[in-house]
Amino acid sequence: MLFFESDSSSLFQMTSRFVSFPEPIVGFLPELSSFNTWNLHFVSRAPCSSGRHGFRLPRTRGRTLMCSGSSSHSWNVPVLSSNEVVERLKLVGEGKQFLAMYSSVVGGITTDPAAMVLPLDDHMVHRGHGVFDTAMIVNGHLYELDQHLDRIIRSASMAKIPLPFDRETIRRILIQTVSVSGCRYGSLRYWLSAGPGDFSLSPSQCPKPSLYATVYQKDFTVDRRGVRVVTSSIPIKPPEFATVKSVNYLPNALSQMEAEAKGAYAGIWVDNDGFIAEGPNMNVAFVVNGGKELVMPRFDNVLSGCTAKRTITLAEQLVSKGMLTSVRVVDITVEDGKKSDEMMLLGSGVLVKPVIQWDDEVIADGREGPIAKALLDLLLDDMISGPPSVRVLVPY
What's the confidence (pLDDT) of residue 100? 97
Could you tell me the residue ranges of all domains in the chain?
4-78, 87-217, 227-385
Active site residues per annotation: 245
Give residue-wise pLDDT tens across range 30-59.
444 444 444 433 333 444 444 444 444 444
Burial class for 233, CB neighbours closer than 10 Å (0-12, 13-18, 19+) = exposed
Long-range contacts of 27-30 (CB under 8 A, 24+ apart): 27/54, 28/54
Which pLDDT tens digit goes with each residue over 212-236? 999 999 887 888 899 999 999 999 9
How many CB atoms lie under 10 A from the CB of residue 239? 13
Q: Three-state DSSP class for 372?
A: helix
Instruction: Give the residues across from 347 on adjacent strands.
Output: 351
- Strand ranges, E, within 218-288: 227-231, 266-268, 283-288
Query: How many Cα atoms within 13 Å fall on the side-chain side of residue 342?
Result: 26
What distance in Å separates the CA atoms of residue 221 and residue 138, rounded to the nearest whole number? 11
Tally the residues of the chain.
Answer: 396
* Phi and psi torsions of 162, nearest 5°: -70, 155
For the entire predicted model, the pTM comes to: 0.80
The contacts of residue 88 (CB under 8 Å, 6+ apart) are 80
If one counts every other C-beta atom within 10 angstroms of the C-beta of residue 120, the result is: 9
Q: CATH topology for 227-385?
A: D-amino Acid Aminotransferase; Chain A, domain 2 (3.20.10)
**Residues in the chain, pLDDT under 70:** 1-74
pLDDT tens, 242-301?
A: 889 999 999 999 999 999 999 999 999 999 999 999 999 999 999 999 999 999 999 988
CATH fold for the domain made of 87-217: D-amino Acid Aminotransferase; Chain A, domain 1 (3.30.470)
